Amino acid sequence: MQQRQLVAEKEALDAKLTEMRASEIAGVIEQIQGLMAEYELTVDDIATKRRRGRPAGVGKAKAGAKEKAPLPPKYQDPKTGATWSGRGRAPAWLGRNRTKFLIAEA
């Protein structure tokens, strides 16, 4: 019996909370509308503009910026002399055992 009473009280509190929130929201909306009228703002002024893709200028080389020097090779195929820096997709000749293709550091 006590559980039913608690559930009923919870439902009553939820209803009261919903009602209070609705009245608060109405007041907040009135405040926002008053401020918008006072400062002559429109919805477009307030709403964030969504853009697709990257912002302009991202990923482009800056004027006067130096290009990065290529990385020194870290692995070398003894048969062909082909090298790989260790970055990007691994070449097929490297296989699983990379240690036998390592170039000794000076």
Question: What predicted TM-score, i.e. pTM, was given to this entire model?
Answer: 0.38
**What are 32-79's pLDDT values in tens digits?**
999 999 999 888 888 777 777 776 666 666 655 677 888 899 999 889
Amino acid at 78: P
Domain ranges of the chain: 2-46, 68-106
| The pLDDT value given to residue 1 | 66
Radius of gyration of the chain (CA): 33
User: Contact at 8 Å (CB) between 73 and 84?
Assistant: yes
Nearest 5°: the CA angle 64, 65, 71 is 145
**Quick check: 80 and 93 in contact, CB under 8 A?**
yes
Q: Is 84 exposed, middle or buried (CB count within 10 Å of its CB: 0-12, 13-18, 19+)?
A: buried
